[in-house]
Amino acid sequence: MAQDMERLYQERLKRYTTAMRNGKPDKVPIRPFVAEFTAKYAGYTCQEVTHDYTKAFDAARKCAADFDWDAVVGNMVYVWTGLTEAQGTAYYAVPGIDLDPDVGFQYKEPPEGFAYMQPEDYDALIEDPTGFLYNVWLPRASRDVEPPGSPTSFRNNLAFVKGGMAMMQYFSGFGDQAARLRAESGTVSAIAGILKAPFDILADKLRGFIGLTMDLFERPEKVLAACEALMPHLTWVALSGADPDKQVPISIWMHRGCVPFVSPEQFERYYWATLKPIIEEIIARGHQVLFYAEGNWRPHLKSFAELPAGSIIYHVDQDDILKVHDVLGDRFCLSGGIPNFLLSYGTPDQVREHCKRVIDGVARDGGYICDASAIMQDDTSVENMRAMTDFVREYGVY
Amino acid sequence: MSNHAETQEASRPPGVCIPWQEKLKDLPEIKGDRELVQRVWEDVDALGYVYIWHCLLSF
């Protein structure tokens, strides 16, 4: 039994890694990024899988055991709100606390005037990003952490102890989860390591998107310098979590560089100019990067094509995957392209028809991994997920 | 990279919260294995770095 499962794991790993290097495996790999869908399937509420990561791990393993998927993420409901509550994180709406138990967690971007980084903070961030995060950002982004110079508090001290220990516990859990996925269902852990673009970090967690948009006109040199200051740190963090065997990729979650958030000129000057060197450094160290390109990135595909062939996996969300394939298909493996709307509200026949179109148009020479366009939440139909999985497994044979 | 980024990189590089040279100023003369003390300091210091950057990136 254990030998059979290990054989299945090795078969799936070879299929997955072959496709990721733009090769032709035996079958089209299936690597669905399933988040709150796992809760729905396993019988948990969103609150349970968001606030108790052991239940999230359990739900992911149950899905992996019941569906013939090659690779999954150990927990795609990635933000463990038990940890964020322990350190007083202010920017999440938590299911079961702020939201109904059956609603997925939400990020609450603060109004412009209450952004966790203000315009006058640029120099401090640029001078010392790590110091800025501890001394300025975290005290503003946490209800419990006090800034330096303020009276300390019981809650302040506990926020660091509990937050640090909880993070260690949670991250350690991913190692056990990967081992159990391998042993219990022969499933590959799809990614290792996290990266975000400097511009996205400024937009997401520091200045906010509206604030950053104004900064692009009012203090563009500061924006560029801040992105540059973040670069070595984001590179270090990405590599620190990478797969030591260099089999599965580091994932980058891409947001605000897409259309229509920035102009092509802004994309080139800020987003790509400060992301490309990070990607090149990671590639130089032998790792692939999964570009999880949320939104519409078609005007920027030519920039991504500058990267070495086989160095990235490009995930397609809102763009037509056949058109993306025309631009990038000879260089990189593509994933995604199955619309979430279809998986949630379409019929199984419509799902099968779309999967056939994608396989015929994109996967004929290999280099394609089946997945939805975006992360799947609890509106995804179990019946449609089964239709996608079974059809791709049957039709996607080389 | 701009001069800003180069200055910062030199003062508190990635993976570091409190550099060993700064910590060394707080210590008496080390009587035993100095490299051991430095290595363990840097390994544990890096956990503090990982913590804050994952607060930003992951949570």
pLDDT per position as a tens digit, A341-395: 999 999 999 999 999 999 999 999 999 999 999 999 999 999 999 999 999 999 9
Quickly state the pLDDT bin for B8 (edges 50, 70, 90): very low
Report chain A residues whose CB lies below 8 A from the CB of B55.
87, 89, 133, 138, 141, 163
pLDDT of residue A1: 73
Nearest to A229 among B8, B15, B57 (CB): B8
Q: What is the pLDDT of residues A133-162, one digit of tens each?
A: 999 999 999 999 999 999 999 999 999 999
Average pLDDT of the segment spanning A187-204: 98
A83 touches B at CB < 8 Å: yes
Average pLDDT of the segment spanning B16-20: 97
pLDDT over 90 (residue B56)? yes
- Most A CBs within 10 Å: which of B3, B6, B57, as the mutation test of the A interface? B57
Is B8 within 8 Å of A126 when comparing Cβ atoms? yes
Quickly state the pLDDT bin for B6 (edges 50, 70, 90): very low
Report chain B residues whose CB lies below 8 A from the CB of A129.
8
A25 or B9, greater pLDDT: A25
In terms of CA atoms, which chain A residue is nearest residue B18?
A131
B43/chain A closest Cα distance in angstroms: 13
pLDDT over 80 (residue A320)? yes
Q: What is the pLDDT of residues A206-253, one digit of tens each?
A: 999 999 999 999 999 999 999 999 999 999 999 999 999 999 999 999
pLDDT of residue A236: 98
Nearest to B11 among A128, A133, A237 (CB): A128
- Most B CBs within 10 Å: which of A201, A231, A233, as the mutation test of the B interface? A233
pLDDT of residue B2: 43
Show the 3-state SS of chain A: CHHHHHHHHHHHHHHHHHHHCCCCCCECCECCCECHHHHHHHCCCHHHHHHCHHHHHHHHHHHHHHCCCCEECCCCCCCCHHHHHHCCECCEECECCCECCCCCCEECCCCHHHCCCCHHHHHHHHHCHHHHHHHHHHHHHECCCCCCCCCCCHHHHHHHHHHHHHHHHHHHHHHHHHHHHHHHHCCEECCCCEECCHHHHHHHHHCCHHHHHHHHHHCHHHHHHHHHHHHHHHHHHHHHCCCCCCCCCEEEEECCCCECCCCHHHHHHHHHHHHHHHHHHHHHCCCCEEEEECCECHHHHHHHCCCCCCCEEEEECCCCHHHHHHHHCCCCEEEECECHHHHHHCCHHHHHHHHHHHHHHHCECECEEECECCCECCCCCHHHHHHHHHHHHHHCEC
pLDDT over 60 (residue B5)? no
Report chain B residues whose CB lies below 8 A from the CB of A83.
59
Is A228 within 8 Å of B4 when comparing Cβ atoms? yes
Q: What is the pLDDT of residues A53-97, one digit of tens each?
A: 999 999 999 999 999 999 999 999 999 999 999 999 999 999 999
Q: What is the dihedral of CA A17, A19, A24, A29, to 10 degrees?
A: 100
pLDDT of residue B11: 74
Is A240 within 8 Å of B50 when comparing Cβ atoms? yes
pLDDT of residue A328: 98
Quickly state the pLDDT bin for B4 (edges 50, 70, 90): very low
Is A128 within 8 Å of B57 when comparing Cβ atoms? no
B10 touches A at CB < 8 Å: no
Is A126 within 8 Å of B53 when comparing Cβ atoms? no
Report chain B residues whose CB lies below 8 A from the CB of A225.
2, 4-5
Q: Is the pTM for the entire model greater than 0.80?
A: yes
Which ipTM score applies to this complex?
0.96
Q: What is the pLDDT of residues B21-52, one digit of tens each?
A: 999 999 999 999 999 999 999 999 999 999 99
In terms of CA atoms, which chain A residue is nearest residue B51?
A164
Nearest to A130 among B47, B49, B58 (CB): B49
pLDDT over 90 (residue A176)? yes
B32/chain A closest Cα distance in angstroms: 30
pLDDT of residue B10: 47
Average pLDDT of the segment spanning A282-291: 98
Nearest to A225 among B4, B9, B56 (CB): B4
Is A231 within 8 Å of B5 when comparing Cβ atoms? yes
Average pLDDT of the segment spanning A105-122: 95
Nearest to B52 among A78, A126, A138 (CB): A138
